[in-house]
Chains A and B, each alone.
Chain A
Amino acid sequence: DTGVSQDPRHKITKRGQNVTFRCDPISEHNRLYWYRQTLGQGPEFLTYFQNEAQLEKSRLLSDRFSAERPKGSFSTLEIQRTEQGDSAMYLCASSLARQGGEQYFGPGTRLTVT
């Protein structure tokens, strides 16, 4: 399968713990996005990268969230000191770096904070 993959698919953690998610984009895609989706809502933009550069980060995102894409390939999203409100599906998408490239989404990581 050459699509976008995410790991883990499910994560249950206790409030206050740190969690890290990984996204592997489609190999030739140099743009990578992170979104958060809660039930009944559309994907909420978190951040995006072009190659290894993080070009934009949502102003709604607290300092507890950080993302990296060290070599312009896979990316990680870390949430520190998790809160119950962080419970959501975290989606990764990748695209080609041309204007308005279609985004290919991964299956997501479902986070539950207890």
Chain B
Amino acid sequence: GQQVMQIPQYQHVQEGEDFTTYCNSSTTLSNIQWYKQRPGGHPVFLIQLVKSGEVKKQKRLTFQFGEAKKNSSLHITATQTTDVGTYFCAGGASGTYKYIFGTGTRLKVLA
């Protein structure tokens, strides 16, 4: 079955440093979503990418969808303590509205 992996599993950065998490699917995706989950909270939608090679920006966050639509990345520039949490990608397969979540990357930002 479809699997979605993320690396790294954990990342500790100093405030102000950049952060990147990578998402890889075992199958070609129709679209990918990114979510952030704060400790003790529920996942909150960040963005959705649909097109091959698509790049979207939200302030300090940059999201990319690979050309083959099997991988994606999230890059945060100049991290802040408010960026702390776990970032998940969720891959949507063609012909279904089922989403498979990645393993997540837990980000800690040291002030």
Contact = CB atoms under 8 A, between A and B. Distances in A.
Contacts of A41: 103-104
Interface stretch (B14-22, B37-45, B54-62): B37-45
Interface string B26-42: 00001101010000001
A99 interface: yes
B42 to A, nearest CB: 4
Contacts of B48: 100, 102
Interface size class on chain A is 20 to 34
Contacts, number: 62
A99 B31 contact: yes
A108 B40 CA distance: 10
A91 B90 CA distance: 15
Contact of B43 (A50, A55, A99, A105): A105
Interface size class on chain B is 20 to 34
A65 interface: no
Interface of B: 1, 4, 30-31, 33, 35, 42-45, 48, 50, 88, 90, 92, 96-104
Given A42-B103, A55-B97, A97-B97, 9 more contacts: A40-B104, A41-B103, A43-B43, A45-B101, A100-B33, A102-B48, A103-B33, A103-B45, A105-B42
Interface of A: 31, 33, 35, 40-45, 48, 50, 55-56, 59, 91, 93, 95, 97, 99-108
